[in-house]
Structure 1
Amino acid sequence: MKYKDVKYVCFVDSAYSLLLYILLYGKVQFESTFFFASDAISKSICGKMKFYKFLSKRKLSSSPLAIRVLSRFILSRISYLRWPFLKTVPIYGADHLWFTPALLKKRSMTVLEDGLTNYSYKAMTQTLSLKHHSLYKWIAGTFMCEGEFGYSSQVHKVILTGKFAIPDCIKNKTELVDLLDLWTRADKEFIQNLFDLTYDDVCMIKSKRIMVLTQPYEEMIGTEELLKIYRRIVNLFKSEEVLIKTHPRDTIDYAGAFPNITVYSKKIPVELFVLLGINFSDVYTITSASIYSFPDSVKKHFLGTECHPLLMKKCGKMTMENCCGV
């Protein structure tokens, strides 16, 4: 049989969640896992997976409404026929992806930490307020509108690092893990090769004092407005000191926008830098929780949505205090 060696399934659209999956379960499980991946996972990484299907959110989002609805409907109807192992094998990963309801159906899963939203009750319960629940479920799958980021009763376990306060609604099914502890037992060479992190990359990154973590907010505020935010940061320092680390879902040409700044665009989780002992004097972000992976010796600059009025309007007030509890 084509899929006789598939023993596990992982829904993934986050380089960090993929790293966490490997740290938790190792190379052997990785090689017997069927990955349903999306845009934050590079083609290079997908090419190293024995089993995978790429389901692009970016392509879906750019399609007309009728195509988006039809795509979800068709996927939910054919998933068990095309991938029969979905009926039986353990499922891990993200429960908030566009394809999760169509593939999960009424089964249970283990949710892996993805970022700040895993600690946000508001994010967890956002889909509960959608109207026409029955219609959504009929189109996309019965898991739709049941909550996300571990909230649903179909999620039997949530694996977190405990970066921030854990909402009461998921405390009883949360398992806390320590990345540094997992790293001591990990196949480090396999992980670095998977993410294409080379020796030259590490040397270059270590030579930088300042890191700016970009985020794909251009659809909310426009590309030029987003670049203005990052220019204000970059202009505070000498160009040779700064590294711009792009988000895995970024589409902006940062190398063109900042020709004198080193731009690192490989789809690698920042947490891997930390595990390798790479530190900076300062790290800047708008709202990325990744900066809290760095030790206390690193100055963390969490700009929050107050850095732009449109972000405030569309996302609400997100500060270091109300998002991260610090």
Structure 2
Amino acid sequence: MHERIYVCHTFYHVYVACLKEFHILHQFSGAIIGASKAGAGSEMAGRATLVLSKMSNKFGSMVDRARDCGLFEEVIEYDEKVDTFFPELAPLRTNTGSLPKNMINRIKFCKRFAQLQEKYVPVDFTKYKDIYVFCDSDPIGYYLNYKKIRYHALEDGLNCIKYGDQARYDNNGHFKFKAWLASTGLIFIQNGWGRYCIDMEVNDISILDYPCPKYIEVPRESLVQELTQSDKDLMLKLFVENMDELKKQLEEGADKPRVLILSEPLCDLETRERLFKDLVRDYGTVNGKEAIVMIKQHPRDYLDYKTKFPEVILLAGTFPMEMLNFIDGLKFDKLVSVYTVVDSIKFVDEKLFLGDDFMDKYEAPEIHRLNEQIIDD
């Protein structure tokens, strides 16, 4: 029987998996009286399996670095398939206009989708004591529910449920009835509502508008505070492919005002280009002085910033922005984000989170104002 397994869909998920593994190592180290911290921790190193889903993220060369870093027992890629990959599922996703018929179709969909997914699942989850799943809304959640395998769910992004409670939004109308069906295992609902979900880790319960009985609070910052310098160095080596190149970029204009803009896969590409050009124009100054502007690319944002934004410095999308916290002496005057929560960022003087009011200018409000559309039944 193996100890732990993490199913990750993004670089941020891998970052949190690392935080959790370091936490376990430090706990184990502290529990052994008379053993050196490094020696005790090493006995627990490499006891977890890391599964990297290729469905929505290109992990690239990080896969090999994860295998070599010593923190995980095994690193496995997962060719996870979305429901549209299977044409036979389409009729089961069609709205019939009848709640009973829709529910019957949904029961069939959940079962059949999991059955079709099974051939792509790369590990036997029954061989693990603890299973941790980020984004159980993805196919892996349906599979574990169908196989009646218990697991722990984790918040997709920092405080993301505050800005979009996808479980309730996706099941708007008659939610209590649907949640009951999910509790029986007949249908599947993500983020703590599935029958076989043990609990759902979130960063801060107090900021969430809607409760879930399985939410448990695991603050990310407390895990970060436990990190030693060697832990941080290991993560930098794991996530950053070329540290020399990154440091050279970050040193650009260090004696001038500097602004960092976080890219995100928002809207269609044409609208996205206009949106970020507006951000560069409107926030590219500090106290009236023209600033050096850098854009940190989101891993799922495929806009060609290098061509479209030749005047900015483009930071790679192949590492989570939290890695920049670990680079000594890094300083920006301003950080600009549309939806990425920036609470964890420590290297800026001013943080701007623009949110829904800003996005209203670029797309219909009902596309992004999800929580406002939830019917509390």
Instruction: State the partner residue of 1:256.
Output: 307
TM norm structure 2 = 0.66
Alpha-carbon distance in 2 for matches of 1:155, 1:73: 16
The one-letter code sitting in structure 2 at the alignment partner of 1:91 is: I
Note if 1:25 corresponds to 2:21.
Answer: yes
**In the alignment, structure 1 residue 55 sits paired with structure 2 residue 55:** no
Any idea what the Cα deviations from partners look like across 1:202-221, whole Å, max 9, x if unmatched? 34225461111111123xxx
Give the Cα separation in 2 of the matches to 1:243 and 1:33: 35
Residues 86-136 of structure 1 show CA distances to partners (whole Å, capped at 9, x for unaligned) of 454411131222332214542222223332433457323234448997xx9
Query: Which residue does the alignment assign to 1:283?
Result: 335
Q: Is the 8 A contact 2:193 2:214 kept in 1?
A: no
RMSD of aligned Cα (Å): 3.8
1:84 is aligned to 124
In the alignment, does 2:291 pair up with 1:268?
A: no
Residue 108 (structure 1) aligned with residue 150 (structure 2): yes
Q: Establish whether residue 174 from structure 1 lines up as the match of residue 217 from structure 2.
A: yes
Q: Distance in 1 between matches of 2:340 and 2:186?
A: 27
| Unpaired segments ≥5 residues, structure 2 | 26-43, 68-73, 93-108, 373-377
What residue number does 1:201 align with? 246
Q: Pick from 277, 281, 285: which aligns with 1:231?
A: 277
1:43 matched residue in structure 2: 60
Once the two structures are superposed, residues 37-71 of structure 1 have per-residue CA deviations (whole angstroms, 9 ceiling, x without a partner) of 233351212233333123356xx477574478899
Give the distance between the partners of 1:261 and 1:254, measured in 2 at CA: 9
On the 8 A contact 2:80/2:139 being kept in 1, the answer is: no
Residues 143 and 40 of structure 1: CA distance in aligned 2, closer, same or farther (over 3 Å):
farther
Instruction: Map residues 80-229 of structure 1 onto 2, 5 A cutoff.
Output: 83-86=123-126, 88-94=128-134, 95-103=136-144, 105=146, 106-115=148-157, 116-119=159-162, 122-129=165-172, 142=185, 144-146=187-189, 148-162=190-204, 165-166=207-208, 167-170=210-213, 173-177=216-220, 178-184=222-228, 187-197=231-241, 198-207=243-252, 209-218=258-267, 222-229=268-275
Counting only pairs closer than 5 Å after superposition, residues 6-25 of structure 1 correspond to structure 2 as 7-25=3-21
Q: What is the distance in 1 between the residues matched to 2:193 and 2:52?
A: 21
Cα distance change on mapping 1:127 and 1:280 into 2, 3 Å: same
Amino acid at match of 2:142: P
| Matched residue SS, 1:110 | strand
Larger Rg: 2
Give CA deviations for 1:231-262 in whole Å, capped at 9, x if unaligned. 11212437871111111111211111111211
Go from structure 1 to structure 2 and tell me whether the alpha carbon gap of 1:29 and 1:312 turns closer, same or farther (over 3 Å shift): farther
Corresponding position of 1:322: none
Q: Is the 8 A contact 2:19 2:224 kept in 1?
A: no
Report Cα offsets for 1:264-316 as digits up to 9, x if no partner.
Answer: 12321112212435342111121111x22124963222222333342513122
Count of residues paired in the alignment:
303
Q: Which stretches in structure 1 are left out of the alignment for 5+ residues?
A: 320-326
Structure 2 residue aligned with 1:324: none
Change (3 A) 1:122 1:202: same
Deviation per CA, 1:17-40: give whole Å up to 9, x if none: 211111111386556404042333
Per-residue CA shift, 1:154-204, capped at 9, x if unaligned? 333333433971453257633334243132376223211111251431342
Q: Is 1:314 paired with 2:367? A: yes
Misfit runs of 4+, over 6 Å: 67-71, 130-133
